[in-house]
Amino acid sequence: MGKWRVMNKGMVLHRMHELLEGHFGDLGWWPADTPFEMIIGAVLTQNTAWRNVETAIKNLKECGLMDIEKIEREEPSHLAAVIRSSGYHRVKSAKLQELSRYLIAECGGDLKKMEARDMKDLRCGLLGVKGVGPETADSILLYAFGKPVFVASAYAKRVFSRHRLIDEDSPYDLVQTFVHENFDGTTKRFNQLHAFLVETGKKFCKKKRALCGECPLGGLARGPKERNHHGHC
Ligand code: SF4
């Protein structure tokens, strides 16, 4: 009897975390000086590499714009120019201003007050901000406000589906629910799991090619139909 038959999905998930922690150690996510900087990063990181976000954040700091009220008041075209390196700069600039407006309206820009709120209310409010989708909202909840929530990234979906824990075409909420129901999550463990899965997806479990022979999860059973699917297992 193979490992797959004696490990249920929850056990596989916990084992994944254990193996990835052994491989990556502490990844120190999210790299930011303040919760507001983290919120900025969560918006800017969409569809771009982190190094481009770092440049945009550096520019914001140099221009004295790493501040909720200053972002909200800034002339849109100038803000877009400052964050140009992050790509889709006009769209992202509008999102940053919408988010800042929302945070000012909700708590006068005092993020500590937001942190004290109930997670469901916070999530609902963030999702009501134009341009903020579930992944950005959950990243903000987890990393800026310290709420225990799983960020169901495309990387997580890829790793989980290749290990037959979920279907390939599972929607965001289903991937998140799967983890919430099967993983013993605290803020710290959700933080780590998201970071580990993003790194695994970038380095090993690539979209077009799964480098299972080099991956820390290479020895983990993938279920009967998935074995040899990528030609590296
Ligand atoms: S590269 Fe292979 S072993 Fe690693 S997560 Fe992807 S499918 Fe699993």
Structural domain contains residue 6: no
Structural domain contains residue 26: no
- Percentages helix, strand, coil for the chain, rounded to the nearest 5? 60, 0, 40
Residue 157 in contact with residue 170, Cβ under 8 Å? yes
C-alpha atoms less than 13 angstroms from C-alpha of 105 in its C-beta half-sphere: 10
pLDDT at 112: 92
Structural domain contains residue 211: no
Structural domain contains residue 81: yes
Q: For ligand 1, say whether the CB of 210 is within 6 Å of any of its atoms.
A: yes
Which of 15, 153, 205 most suits a substitution to test ligand 1, by most atoms within 8 Å of the C-beta?
Answer: 205
C-alpha atoms less than 13 angstroms from C-alpha of 122 in its C-beta half-sphere: 24
pLDDT at 221: 65
Residue 200 in contact with residue 20, Cβ under 8 Å? yes
Report the CATH number that the domain containing residue 91 is assigned in CATH. Answer: 1.10.340.30
Structural domain contains residue 18: no
Rounded to whole angstroms, the Cα distance separating 220 from 229 reads 14
Q: What does each C-alpha distance from 160 to 51, 91, 139, 157, 221 come to in angstroms? A: 27, 31, 19, 5, 12
Count: domains in the chain: 1
Q: For ligand 1, say whether the CB of 211 is within 6 Å of any of its atoms.
A: yes
User: Pick from 51, 74, 52: which is nearest to 64 by CA?
Assistant: 74
Q: For ligand 1, say whether the CB of 124 is within 6 Å of any of its atoms.
A: no
Per-residue pLDDT of the chain (233 residues; tens, 9 = 90+): 444 455 788 999 999 999 999 999 999 888 888 999 999 999 999 999 999 999 999 999 999 999 999 999 999 999 999 999 999 999 999 999 999 999 999 999 899 999 999 999 999 999 999 989 999 999 999 999 999 999 999 999 999 999 999 999 999 999 999 999 999 889 999 999 999 999 999 999 999 999 999 999 998 866 544 444 444 43
Atom 8 in ligand 1: residue holding the nearest Cα: 217
Q: How much is the pTM?
A: 0.90
Q: Which domain holds residue 64?
A: 35-144
